[in-house]
Each structure stands twice: as C-alpha cells, then as structure tokens.
A and B are shown apart, each in its own frame.
Chain A
C-alpha cells in the first residue's frame, strides 16, 4: 500500500465573521482560491499535476454552493484537468478532506491530491444550508437534537466542569494564541488575503482577544439559558441523560469557538509524486478514523474516535507528542482531557478556536498545518488531530514526521 505524505499546508488568517470583519468583502471563492494559489506557487504545481481538490464546506449554498472546490481549482489556475469535490461532515470537513485525499493515495488511485476547506461565515451564515436534523421531527427526536451550545453545557454538567474551569481554559487559549503569534510560529503557513491590487486585506487572525481575563469572561452571561429553558432543549438534554437534575449553562461567546471566515489547503501525495514536484515530505499520515458518538452529548466524538484511531495505529495515548483538539467549546477539550487524563501541556499548545476562531469547513485543515509546524519547531514526531462534529461524530488523524 502506498503511503500518503503531507508536502505542504497553508491557511489564510481568520477574519472576524461579521459584517465588520476584514474578510467580509472577500467571497468564499476568493478565500479558497487564495489558499489553492499559495499551495500551487509554493510547490511548483505544474498545470494538471493534481489529481483532485477536495474541499470541506459546511454551508455550501449560495456563493459557496454547487461544488466550490471545482470553481476554486479553475480560478486558481490548476488546469482544466484538475477536478474538485466539495464535502461536508460539519466541523471536521477540513480534516475529512485530508483523510479522503490520503485514502485515495493509499488506495493507489491518486498520486497528488489537495485536501482543505473554506467557510465564509460572515457571508453565508451558519445554518444557511438547512437540513433535516434540527427540523424534521423524525430525526430531531430520534437524535435528541439540541443546539450545540446546549450539548456543550450538558457535557459540562454531566462531567462536572464549573464556569470557572471552562473560563480558565478560554483564558489559556487566548494566552497561548498570542504567545504563538508573537513568537512567529504561524508565519510559514499563513497566506495573507490581498485585494486585486495586491494590497493586504488581512494577514493576522482577527478574532483574538489576548486581553481576556477571568474577570472579563466572568462578566459575560451564559448564552444558552433561554434556548435551553424556553426552547425546551434543557428537557431534551435531561431526557437523554436523566441523571442530570438541571443543566448548568456555562458557555458563552468567550469560551466557545469564534465565528470567522477563512480557508486552508494541504498538499498530499505519494513519495514518487513528491519527487516529481521536487518537495520533501514533511509528515506521513499514520492513521485516520471516523466514528459516530452519542448525538445528545454530540461533541464527545473526539474521545471515541481517538480510542478507535489509536487502536488502528497500534498506539497508546502516551505515544502522542502533541494533540490538537478543536476548541468548539471549552467543555469539549476539558472532557477530552479528563477522559484520557492528559497533561494540557501537550494539548493545543498554540491556542485554538476559542482564541482564533473556527471557520467550520476549513478548521480541520488549518489545525493540521498548525500542529505540523509545531512538531517541526519543537523537534517532536507524532501528533493527533481531532474534531467534534454535529449530530455526534468524531474524526481523527495521526500524523508522523518523516
């Protein structure tokens, strides 16, 4: 079986996902094109050499609809022979794009594939694509649908994380993100977004609030109280986990992932394909896995999928040097840490989505690049990337430097 290697990884900075965010004037197509163009120019991708472009995009409607990946591949001048496919597994789409690319390579059917993702949350809007899951009584009831924030609060309640604990984690994420930026740890992978004149629109993650303290977070009201009580979702949570007497609502904008715009792309290929384009492999895909998990808790999939991927790789949790788990909500990371009894010193060492934001379809590809940079910087070898997913799923990938 051929091995799949990572040759390069790029990402745009993340713009605040609101009309006053820097990237609000930049279309989904332009964001994806920026990432693909950077990959092309950095890796001397001759026209037509790429077998496929797989991009995650969660709300693939309107400007992001109708296969944004093919549109972006053409727009980035990958050549008419390079196809594209847009995929959606909610928040893990960007990592699933990488895994699917790796799978095609390992299966011997493709030699060089781009995996990545794009999301303009300010322009398309979260939930714009609709879907049966929250709406159709059949699936909404069967899957104990509730807004993700209520599920995150259920996790905090069930596993005993207090408001102080989730806030403390958020403060730490901000601190780590600032330190990483100040230390230039992202500089090799960030591609500034420029206008048609070459003028930079954004070259730094815009969502960060490094001044965040326990006091400033303490002033924020929990976001999902009304939804839980008036909307009936607390009752849904309790009927799914009846040992809980009432939901302790602890999450708010400051300890949840930020809504942002951005795109990312990762170049994967066989060793021979790397030779052809003159790139040395940076890491190989050791294993990947997907899993379904309790849909009511919804966001504990990383625990289940990590067990699965470790088993597939024949590894123990202690074999991992670094872990990148998407900071969808603080309780997601804390539950993951609790389940594996982890030292936070090797988890999300350069901050995460609480500080820098979570552009849904792109995040998986972004944090793969982030942790690869960190492995190289710190001279370490092995990392796990995992994300929680709507409707109760988990995706995970283990990469290993070569």
Chain B
C-alpha cells in the first residue's frame, strides 16, 4: 500500500485521519494517482472493523484547488486512440467510464457505511469541494482565506463528480442552479448559511471537531439515501417546480445567449437528476459530463481561461535571465483618467506612487479618483476606512518632477500628442536614475517613434492599459525597435505586481487589441449603413458572444474620438486605409448631429437623465435603405462580428505583432471581451479548422468586400489543414491544477 499523496493515522477511538499532502506540489490536486490512492484508503478503512470513521484534511495551507485539468485532457487523447481502434461508440464509452471514476469513488465514500468527515482550510474548489460534499460532515477553518465553491462552469465544464446532484438535494433547485451557474467561491459564513458546511472553527480545532462529530455517533447515511426523503424545493413536477424551471431556462438564455454548453448541461442534469434516485441521477450527470468534456467550448475555455491565463499571469514571456526586479515606487506622469487609474491600481498593490501633473490642483484631482474608488469599495463592504487612508497615504500628488527621482519605474499617461510626450520624456529622464525603465501608456502612437525622444531607447517600453484601468485585466506591453530585455522584464514584473495579465506585442499602429476592436466597430457601423435594424446589430453582436454591442461601444469610446482616430489614420496612411462609408456615418453623427456618445448624452443611443438608454430613433434616417428583419441571416451577422476580429488577429500574427498565440487569445478575451466560449479568436478558428474558417471569410469577402480578404498565412495554413496552436506551439506548459 503506497501512501504517497495521503498519510493516514488511526487514533485510539478508531478514527482514521487522512492527511492529503502531495509531494513536490504547493497545492493538492486530484490526479489519477491521488484518486486511486484515496480509493485504496476507502477500501481499507471500510473493510477494517476497528475503524469507526474517517476524517480527511489537508497537510498544506489550502485544502485543494480541485481536479487536474490536464488529466481530463488526457482522457480525450485516450478516446481519440480508442476511436481509431474500435469506433465512435467504444470511444464514447471509454470517456464515459473514465470521466466518472471520481464520481463513483465519491458515491462509494458516501455509501460506505462509516461516517466520513472533512476538515477544510484555505481554498477547497471544484472536485475537492465535491469530495467534501460527498462526506457526511463538513468542518471549515475560520481562516479568512477559506473559500469553497464549484467554479467549473467558468472553464466550460460543470461539477461532474456528484456536485450538481448533491447541491440540488441540499437546497431548493432555484438556489442550486444559481450557485452552480455562477460558480462563485463562497466564504465560510455564506457556505454555513447555505448549510454547505456544518461547523466553522479555528484551524487548529477543525480535525478535533470532525472527530467529535464521529465519536458522538454522526450518521453515515445521507438524507437522500433514507426513505421518505423530500427535495428541499419540492419535486420537479410540482407548483414549486413550475415556478423554477421555465424561468431558469429563460434566465440561462438571457445570461449566456445559449453559447455555453457546460452551463446548459447544469440545467439539464439538475432537471433530470431530481426526477431520479441518487445513483441513477449520478449516472445521468456522468453522461453529460463525458459529453461536455469533449465539447470544443470546454477545451478552448480550459486552455485559454485557465492554462494560458495562468502561464501568462506568471510571466511566461518574461526574459528568464533578467533577475527579478523589486519595484517599490512607481512614478505616474499625467493625472488624467488613465493616469489616475494607473496610480490607483499601483497603490492598491501596495506600491508607493508619485503622481505628477502640471500643477498641484491637477495632480490632486487625479488622486481624488483613488479616494472615490476606495469609497465605493467601502460602501460595498469590501474595504475599510483604514484601507482607504493607507492607500491614499501611498500616493503623493505633486507638480514637481524632482519627486520622481527615486522611482523604480515611471509611466507616462499624458495627452496623445508626440510633442507633449517628447517634452515629458525629457523632463522625466532628467531626474530619474540611469537604469530606471520608462513606460508609455500610449494607445495610438508607435512606441519606436516616441523612443526617439528618449536618451535611453533600450529602457523605453509601451505599457498600454485599458479603460477603466481598475476593471480591465489586460495590459499590453509594447516593444519598440530598441527596447531591451530588462525593460520587458521590469514591465512584466510590474504588471504582475498589480495583478493584471500582460501580453507582449511588437510595435504597430493600434498594437493588438485596438486593431481587433476597430474591426468590430467598423462591422457594426457598416451593418447600419446596409440597413440592418440598429437593435439587430446590437443584439446579434451579443448573441455572437460579445459583451457590448458595437454601437454602444462606440458611444462609450466617444463617437468623435472614433472619428478622430479614423481621420488620423487617413492622414497618415491614405484614403485606402479607412472605410469611406464609416467615415461618412461618423461625420454625420459628430459634425451634423452633434452626437458625440455617452459623454454628451447622445450618440448612437439617447441617454435620458435617470432613464434607460435607448437607440436613437433618428438612426433610421441615416440608413440609405432599411431591410426587412426577417430577410436577414442572423447567423451571418454573428459570423461577421467574430470573423472580422479573428481575421485581424491572424493579420497581427502574420505581421509578427503578436508572437504568442496564447496572448492573442487571452488578450482578446480579457482585453475586449471576445466571445469567451470560443477561447479567443485563434482558438475559435482552430475550433472550426483553418479550412472552414477560410471558406467562411471567402464567402464573406464575396458578399461584403476586401476587408474579409484572407492573409497569405491563413491560405497556407488552410491548404495544410494546420491549426494556430499546432503551427505556433506555445512554450511547454507548466502543469498545474484547477
């Protein structure tokens, strides 16, 4: 009997303490090996008459993050081999059998006849929380870091080890659905209130509390394994059920636009499972789990939203031979909306900040932004007054450039004008140490051009934040022609320190994210010009998976700003670089109608004071024709929205602007909300295959013009049926768990 991942010790009362403590890992995860070992412990303790009960706990600071997602990917690989060997049904059966092993183990624990209790500290998520749910008694540590939850839905899966069935038998179906569909991590007070845990005690007392429950004769039979069990919300086919299910189905559609098979499977397995006894219910859950596991949405979401995101967050692109930089003090020049946001997120991460603007009042105004944001957090109960005071104490607002002298990194966020920027660069470099890195938060100006004003172009780098800074997780790091490794390393260390995700791109107009967003907005504007009803543009964009419609997004950016960028592009790159129809539309809105966007209360939408925004009825008059909605192909509109962005992403790869496919995908999802269920634009293409994508864009090009023309790279890849992740494999992944 090997005890590699778990240690067991039996006390005088015959209670076995199982301590989960995997070697050479900072966090326990459910691997195939760990599952087998836990099964052996179950067999042994069940067979041994001297054993009265079992307590499971963790030997680490956290209980466990859940199942090893790469193990789940391994099942897929096995299935593909089996399919070749024995056919589709045999392969499907293999996936079903393999992917339900954890569920079967948990059910065996639940019905072994001896009481199992769990003592949980730190995070206990996914498959690990499902283990806790299968146990007969749950004690949690009162450590504020303790978190319990089933976040599987966030990576396209759902709890497939009995989680859906146990949760739905512990609370009314409507509450269970909400918990399962949101995938939130719960603090102990909420988990206790929801009766997901039985007891909350200090960490050093939790094992004893669990043992006490066993000694006092805790029952090893779950309520649903007893005669006369009644579902907390009543049967599916009851008044309560009728109050729950029609609305649950509708709300699922409202929240997901029907794009998330994992979420949909939650609805289905709870609906079916609650009509069955537990064992059959678990079988149904397993059938759907096996199915969802093989969905392209789950594969794409696991890869981008879990694996790649973690790798990039850890600085996968950081030059390895540059020693870690210790950034303690950051200078931010320009205390406008962006600069103020950068100061806030820096101070929030515990860094000292010097916030500089032309005079004291302007600098103070930027600092005031932090006050406002922290006050908002206090109102929501997420921070205390003392937190705000401490954060504000870390920000020094000043017009004095000299104060930047001891900063470890300086970021400028001044007006987007090369002359203004050049002046600031000179003033900053005059006071900072020679080896301090200078970052520019420009969104439109090429970094290499700005670096020309710097005495130290190798220390000059783009650090592009998105608005609003405190909410947006993505930061684009832009390499100028001469930017050196140290600048990249420092920028990445900084972005990691402020808990955002960096992507590294090479210098070009619009970098990466804004090029894709620009294509998205253009598509929406052209649809309007074609006579598509405005609401249909907005709704189909959201149905395609985008968080905000293109017309609404233009209003947020500001219509006049969109026009300004367009005119600048035209001035620099010539009339062919822009779309004339789009320009006409924006000129009409801005120059004839004075509609500038949300900022002046009128853009594509009207923004009535205190009321809900509504599409401006006058848009109809700007349309040369108006088309009958029933004659418009909704699927094509959705394809256009995603394809135009994905094509732009392909172009950035072809041009060498983006050099890591993970960055294209993760950057698109967290930067501008590209349909998360696709795993990002390149994963979306890979999901359908480059051949199919090429066929799609060729069809769109024939109908809608050369903006859908495929880059040569895509043609080449399609000819060989290559995928982006196949042709541009990211560096070997570090294995980690969910």
Interface of A toward B, CB cutoff 8 Å: 127, 130, 134-138, 140-141, 145-147, 230-233, 235-236, 238-239, 241-246
Partner of A137, one of B249, B534, B614: B249
Contact A137 B629 (CB under 8 A): no
Partner of B629, one of A135, A146, A241: A241
Q: Which of B94-102, B253-261, B697-705 contacts A (4 or more CB under 8 A)?
A: B253-261
**A135 and B257 contact, Cβ closer than 8 Å, known pairs A141-B252, A242-B536:** no
Q: How far is the CA of A242 from the CA of B258 in the complex (A)?
A: 14
Closest to A127 in B: B242
User: Within 8 Å of chain A (Cβ to Cβ): is B543?
Assistant: yes
Q: How far is the CA of A316 from the CA of B613 in the complex (A)?
A: 46
Q: How far is the CA of A244 from the CA of B535 in the complex (A)?
A: 6
Q: How far is the CA of A130 from the CA of B632 in the complex (A)?
A: 36
Closest to B638 in A: A242
Add 19 more A-B contacts to A138-B268, A236-B250 (CB < 8 A): A127-B242, A134-B246, A135-B236, A137-B249, A140-B245, A140-B250, A141-B253, A141-B258, A145-B246, A145-B249, A231-B246, A231-B251, A232-B250, A235-B254, A238-B535, A239-B543, A242-B540, A243-B533, A245-B615
Which residues from chain B contact A235 at a C-beta distance below 8 Å? 250-251, 253-254
| A273: min CB distance to chain B, Å | 43
Which residues from chain A contact B252 at a C-beta distance below 8 Å? 137, 141, 232
Contact A135 B539 (CB under 8 A): no
Contact B629 A243 (CB under 8 A): yes
Interface of B toward A, CB cutoff 8 Å: 236-237, 241-242, 245-254, 257-258, 264, 267-268, 271, 533-536, 538-540, 543, 614-615, 629, 632, 634
Which residues from chain B contact A238 at a C-beta distance below 8 Å? 535, 539
Which 9 residue pairs across A and B have the least CB separation, nearest first? A232-B250, A235-B254, A243-B629, A242-B539, A245-B535, A232-B251, A140-B249, A243-B533, A243-B536
**A236 and B253 contact, Cβ closer than 8 Å, known pairs A135-B241, A135-B246:** yes
Which residues from chain B contact A233 at a C-beta distance below 8 Å? 247, 250
Contact B245 A239 (CB under 8 A): no
Partner of B258, one of A232, A239, A241, A245: A239
Which residues from chain B contact A134 at a C-beta distance below 8 Å? 242, 245-246, 249
Contact B267 A137 (CB under 8 A): yes
Closest to A232 in B: B250
Q: How far is the CA of A244 from the CA of B245 in the complex (A)?
A: 25
Closest to A229 in B: B254
Contact A135 B250 (CB under 8 A): no
**A135 and B245 contact, Cβ closer than 8 Å, known pairs A130-B237, A239-B258, A242-B535:** yes
Which residues from chain A contact B632 at a C-beta distance below 8 Å? 243
Partner of B271, one of A136, A145, A232: A136
Which residues from chain B contact A239 at a C-beta distance below 8 Å? 253, 257-258, 539, 543
**A141 and B264 contact, Cβ closer than 8 Å, known pairs A130-B237, A245-B535:** yes
Q: How far is the CA of A190 from the CA of B535 in the complex (A)?
A: 50
Q: How far is the CA of A147 from the CA of B614 in the complex (A)?
A: 25
Closest to A136 in B: B271
Q: How far is the CA of A140 from the CA of B252 in the complex (A)?
A: 11
Q: How far is the CA of A232 from the CA of B257 in the complex (A)?
A: 12
| A71: min CB distance to chain B, Å | 24
Q: How far is the CA of A235 from the CA of B542 in the complex (A)?
A: 11
Q: How far is the CA of A139 from the CA of B736 in the complex (A)?
A: 39
Which of B253, B254, B257, B533 lies at the interface centre, i.e. has the most chain A CB atoms within 10 A of its CB? B253
Closest to A242 in B: B539
Closest to A135 in B: B245
Contact B540 A137 (CB under 8 A): no
| A388: min CB distance to chain B, Å | 18
Q: How far is the CA of A238 from the CA of B536 in the complex (A)?
A: 9
**A242 and B634 contact, Cβ closer than 8 Å, known pairs A134-B245, A134-B246:** yes
Q: How far is the CA of A239 from the CA of B271 in the complex (A)?
A: 23
| A156: min CB distance to chain B, Å | 15
| A49: min CB distance to chain B, Å | 41
| B608: min CB distance to chain A, Å | 14
Which residues from chain A contact B254 at a C-beta distance below 8 Å? 232, 235-236
* 11 residue pairs from A and B, CB less than 8 Å apart: A135-B245, A137-B245, A138-B268, A141-B252, A141-B264, A231-B250, A232-B250, A232-B251, A232-B252, A243-B533, A243-B536
Contact A245 B614 (CB under 8 A): yes
Q: How far is the CA of A379 from the CA of B245 in the complex (A)?
A: 51
Partner of B246, one of A140, A241, A245: A140
**A141 and B249 contact, Cβ closer than 8 Å, known pairs A242-B543, A243-B629, A244-B535:** yes
Q: How far is the CA of A138 from the CA of B535 in the complex (A)?
A: 27
Q: How far is the CA of A232 from the CA of B178 in the complex (A)?
A: 14
Q: How far is the CA of A295 from the CA of B218 in the complex (A)?
A: 53
Which residues from chain A contact B257 at a C-beta distance below 8 Å? 239
Which residues from chain A contact B245 at a C-beta distance below 8 Å? 134-137, 140
Contact A135 B242 (CB under 8 A): yes
| B310: min CB distance to chain A, Å | 32
Which residues from chain A contact B268 at a C-beta distance below 8 Å? 137-138
Closest to A139 in B: B249
Closest to A230 in B: B247
Which residues from chain A contact B534 at a C-beta distance below 8 Å? 245
Closest to B532 in A: A243
Q: How far is the CA of A245 from the CA of B615 in the complex (A)?
A: 8
Which residues from chain B contact A146 at a C-beta distance below 8 Å? 250
Which residues from chain A contact B237 at a C-beta distance below 8 Å? 130, 135
Contact A137 B264 (CB under 8 A): yes
Q: How far is the CA of A130 from the CA of B533 in the complex (A)?
A: 38
Which residues from chain A contact B258 at a C-beta distance below 8 Å? 141, 239
Which residues from chain A contact B241 at a C-beta distance below 8 Å? 135
Q: How far is the CA of A310 from the CA of B535 in the complex (A)?
A: 35
Closest to A244 in B: B535
Which residues from chain A contact B236 at a C-beta distance below 8 Å? 135
Closest to A140 in B: B249
Q: How far is the CA of A136 from the CA of B246 in the complex (A)?
A: 8
Which residues from chain A contact B615 at a C-beta distance below 8 Å? 245
| B268: min CB distance to chain A, Å | 5
| B251: min CB distance to chain A, Å | 4
Which residues from chain A contact B247 at a C-beta distance below 8 Å? 230-233
Which of B245, B246, B247, B543 lies at the interface centre, i.e. has the most chain A CB atoms within 10 A of its CB? B246
Closest to A158 in B: B629
Which residues from chain A contact B246 at a C-beta distance below 8 Å? 134-135, 140, 145, 147, 231
Q: How far is the CA of A197 from the CA of B539 in the complex (A)?
A: 63
Contact A232 B535 (CB under 8 A): no
Which residues from chain A contact B533 at a C-beta distance below 8 Å? 243
| B520: min CB distance to chain A, Å | 17
